[in-house]
Amino acid sequence: MSDNTNKPQDLSSNEKIKMSSNALRGTIAESLTDEITGNIRPDDQPLVRFHGMYLQDDRDRREERAAKKLERLYSFMIRLRLTGGFLSGDQWIALHHIAGENSTGTLKITTRQTIQLHGVLKTKAKPTVKAFNQAGLTTLATCGDINRNVICSAHPKQSPLHEQIFELAKEITDMLLPKTQGYYEIWLDAEKIADTKMEEDLLYQDRYMPRKFKIALAIPPNNDIDVFGNDLGLIAVIEKDQLKGFNIVIGGGMSSTHGNPEHYPRLASELGYVDITNGKENLLKAIYELLTIQRDYGNRNDRKKARLKYTVDKYGIPWWKAELEKRAGFALEDIKPYVFNRRKDYYGWEQNHEGLWYYTVFVENGRVLDTDSLKLKQALQDAAKTGKVNFRFTCNQNVIISDIKPEDKAQIQEILEKYKIIEHTNKASTIRANAMACVALNTCALALAESQRYLPSLLDKVEELLEKHGLSDEEMIVRMTGCPNGCARPFIAEIGFVGTALGKYNMYIGGDRFGMRLNKLYKESLEEPQILDELDGFFGAFAKKRKKNQAIGDFLHQEYCQ
């Protein structure tokens, strides 16, 4: 059964490309060997995303190249599949070298717990994927209309159940991988398969999802992964240190379009609870069938309305629940109580219940590189080379040096001190430590304004304002993106900035501290002096009038958003 509003004649061009792609192969192999251009064929561009990469160009160099009548400087952004953000020490070492040889060299930690490389030329794309594969890494299905990287609460210190939930995240990932063998043929020179039955994909069929699909697993009370910003969120229900089951929430998403109320950010809505004390089968079945419902009912005519959030608003939660119960063959229970009372990373050293040590490093906007003042990339490489650490990435774009035995802690501490990583992490102001910015310029094709290259200098000035009002130690969640797609989840920040044009940002205020209330558009297209003026006013009023322990997001909501 499917939604009859999806008329075949009105299918979007992406739908037609997917269906005629021969299980996502298209003509990618031919595009890669075309030496005349750094570009790939137009129809291969949406397809190559399913393989984990985006064709981009260096936007800083567009004008200069156009003046010389050269084609744009094309390259790929390549994204790894790292469920729950985990990377072993050996994999880090491999990644360090692959990035150095094939990309700009910067390892970019994303807001969904993984790593991206930028600036990978077409000739280097295949060697990069091959090198990843040799390190036991893959890029399959990290982009495109498919289930993306499954994220889960990052810090094993936060819960003795972390490992169990992390394993479940991996199981969900595997269950939702596409069956295509094209990835292995194109990138890894695997033999062409003779038996096409192997590729029969009962979940994705030949249509895949109408749009990207995102799943997150949260372990309350920390909503460090922003569970309500996902298509499908699973909130762990824990009683007496035992994992009992999951509350399911659906229909979260951030993207909007400036000036178009038809496209809006939305928090996921509560659907029901699934118990797992007698096994995970029902939970896995529910997740699988939620995808089949969206596959069948999601909008395939208009990609702007194709995310699950719009299908939820179209049919309503009672319909979704009934349809899911029909397909899964069991009834959902009522949502169990849960509380989120934090949404952040814990910097510095922490020890888990097994005695292992973890050091969370502050990485400004997720950019791991070596500069004159900080050799972060080298420090992490040295830590990896000890053979005594793993790595975990957080949804706040940081890295946790992980799983360190007590007897090895001093050696890692020495490395962190040698490279001044501890000083760097401790020095980050409270506002900076919790802030995030998306990539935006110079690589993102959709950026309207700067983001990761601008937020640090804006924060320098905001820190001065905070000091003026005696608020330097005040926690607050500030996020910036270069366009309204919302890659750093600015619409669930306490204060969000969303680019409208170079140097101009819409200002959103009044989200709550824990990611459970959307903020509201306050003023449009502000330039830096106006942003600082507005913040000066907010901070002054907050310092004078706040209630005891009131968070700034709640204060702004109460004073300016009613």
Provide, rounded to whole angstroms, the least separation between the CB of residue 489 and ligand SRM.
5
The DSSP call for residue 370 is: B
Handedness of CA 281, 283, 284, 289 (dihedral sign): positive
Segment 494-523, which members bind ligand SF4 (CB under 6 A)?
none
Identify the sign of the CA torsion 489, 491, 495, 500: positive
Residue 365 or 390 with smaller CB distance to ligand SRM: 365
Q: Which two tokens stand for residue 380?
A: 């992490």
- 31 or 103: CB nearest ligand SRM: 103
Which has the closest alpha carbon to 139: 77, 199, 74, 216? 77
Distance (Å, rounded) from C-alpha 473 to C-alpha 7? 56
In whole angstroms, how close is the CB of 443 to ligand SF4 at the nearest point?
Answer: 8
Q: How many CA atoms lie less than 13 Å away from 307 in the CB half-sphere? A: 25
- Is position 212 annotated as part of the catalytic site? yes
Among 25, 81, 157, 212, the one annotated catalytic: 212
Q: Minimum distance between the CB of residue 126 and ligand SF4, rounded to whole angstroms?
A: 25
> Which pair of structure tokens corresponds to residue 358?
């973890």
Catalytic residue among 438, 479, 513, 517: 438
Active site residue 300: no
Pick between residue 247 and residue 451 the one whose CB is nearest to ligand SF4.
Answer: 451
Q: Nearer to ligand SRM by C-beta: 47 or 466?
A: 47
348/47 Cα distance (integer angstroms): 41
How many residues sit close enough to ligand SF4 to count as binding (CB under 6 A)? Answer: 13
Burial 273-299 (b: 16+ CB within 10 A, else e): bbbbeeebebbbbbbbbbbbbbbbbbb
The one of ligand SRM, ligand SF4, none whose footprint includes residue 77, by CB under 5 to 8 A per kind, is: ligand SRM
Q: Is 418 a catalytic residue?
A: no
Active site residue 438: yes
Q: Compute the least distance from the CB of residue 227 to ligand SRM, in Å.
A: 10
Our CB check for ligand SRM shows the closer of 444 and 462 to be: 444
489 contact choice in ligand SF4, ligand SRM, none (CB below 5 to 8 Å, kind-dependent): ligand SRM
Cα–Cα distance for residue pair 233/226, rounded to 1 Å? 9
Dist CA 164 CA 158 (whole Å)? 13
Q: Measured between alpha carbons, how far is residue 399 from residues 179, 272, 416 in Å?
A: 31, 33, 13
| Shortest Cβ 486–ligand SRM spacing (Å) | 4
Shortest reach from residue 60's CB to ligand SF4, in Å: 14
- DSSP letter at 60 equals G
Closest CA to 554 of 507, 506, 512, 502: 512
Whether 420 is catalytic is: no
Q: Which positions ≥6 away from 398 have C-beta within 8 Å?
A: 109, 345, 347, 360, 361, 362, 363, 366
- 149 interface partner picked from ligand SF4, ligand SRM, none, CB below 5 to 8 A per type: ligand SRM
Nearer to ligand SRM, 148 or 343 (CB): 148
Q: How far apart are CA 188 and CA 182, in angstroms?
A: 9
CB of 234 to ligand SF4, least distance (A): 24
Continuous segment of H or E residues that includes residue 249:
strand 242-250
From ligand SRM, ligand SF4, none, which one binds at residue 18 (CB under 5 to 8 Å depending on kind)? Answer: none
Q: Which two tokens stand for residue 396?
A: 């706040």
Q: How far is the CB of 507 from ligand SF4 (least distance, A)?
A: 16
Q: Among the options 18, 25, 79, 343, which is catalytic? A: 79
What is the smallest separation between the CB atom of 323 and ligand SRM, expressed in angstroms? Answer: 22
* 287 vs 395, beta carbon nearer ligand SRM: 395
From the list ligand SRM, ligand SF4, none, which binds 124 (C-beta under 5 to 8 Å, kind-based)?
Answer: none
Q: Nearer to ligand SRM by C-beta: 62 or 545?
A: 62
> Does 75 interact with ligand SF4 (rule: CB under 6 A)?
no
Catalytic residue check, 395:
no
Helix (H) / strand (E) element for 96: namely: helix 89-102
Nearer to ligand SF4, 147 or 451 (CB): 451
Residue 483 contact partner, candidates ligand SRM, ligand SF4, none, CB within 5 to 8 A by sort of partner = ligand SF4
Residue 488 is given by DSSP the state T
Among residue numbers 429 through 458, which ones bind ligand SF4 (CB under 6 A)? 438-440, 444, 446-447, 451
User: Which residues here bind ligand SRM, judged by CB under 6 A?
Assistant: 54, 56, 77, 79, 110-112, 114, 116, 148-149, 212, 214, 226, 229, 253-255, 307, 366, 438-439, 443-446, 485-489
Q: Are 366 and 377 in contact (CB under 8 A)?
A: no
Give residues 460-489 in contact with ligand SF4 (rule: CB under 6 A): 481-483, 485-487
* 371/429 Cα distance (integer angstroms): 20
- 396 touches 388 (CB < 8 A): no
**Which two three-digit tokens encode residue 260?**
């178009």
Which residues are near ligand SF4 by CB under 6 A?
Answer: 438-440, 444, 446-447, 451, 481-483, 485-487
> What amino acid positions are annotated as catalytic residues?
79, 148, 212, 214, 438, 444, 483, 487
